Structure 1
């Protein structure tokens, strides 16, 4: 296994330079369901905590994003702009506790993937959890010293069903056990680490397929 960094100009090679993809993730622990608008148009209504939208195609450019409590357009939780480069794939995450809720755009970098391997990375989105290490059940360290809002590079693994242990960094204090994560060959996955270590909702991971596994340009 080894880290794999990406060329930030790679996605500009797309033949359709206008075309990008975006999905949203509700990762704000303790926050009610939300509605999301892009340029004042609904893109998701009643999105629950830990849920993703589907990816949808958009043109590149600058977009205004507003987030509201579901069904209540009088209280704006987030009102900010994001830039979507051409030929890119983003997971735009709603993060933080309600009192400091914000948007966090996460690039799903477009990379060629070696056949028969799995690409895996770790994304720390738990606002009250300090640095963590991610290990396999045999003690092998996959990711170390990962802090809030940090995104690792992808590593390459053999396809298999894995169990992951998440520890406070540099210690043997395990804070989460993740069993039976099935990772298929020639795919990209992100481990989204969400929840709270000291309050509800509890720590948890989400391991969806990244859009760079299957989206076409």
Structure 2
């Protein structure tokens, strides 16, 4: 039996997308149980709350980028946000998200590459748990901005440690200076309660 720590080790030490997808393939069916009940994962709740309070109403079209099994989408749905697409690179995780019956579309795509989505398509993007060790790097910020409408909201987490090591902050500042987006909120929130791991929760507005 694979322990919680061994599972996380496989995910965060993946050397390429193939290894990462293999890890998630093995984990998909148990992901919700392990993360929420096992690790005390709470970042999805904080992310949904941050996005919801920055949106004008519940009718906005939302992309759940790196949706995993749909934990963030589930929280948003409970808050009245029912127009959402799910996007993830793992077919098995998308299959789990599909079972929640909360998304319009289920898109299998790699956030480290250009997305087959039109410009200015969504009112908001939420991206929770994706900017972290062994996952998606800071270059993906520009693509999230591209698919978001002017004045739209982008809300994402960056796990502590990776925030400092992976150049996320430098890229965020660069995009601010280029007037691609403006920072609305940044706060430290709990990521995994079990190990007292935190993350940065960032909310941006896309510039007109």
- How does the TM-score come out when normalised to structure 2? 0.31
Of Structure 1 and Structure 2, the greater strand share is in 1
Larger Rg: 1
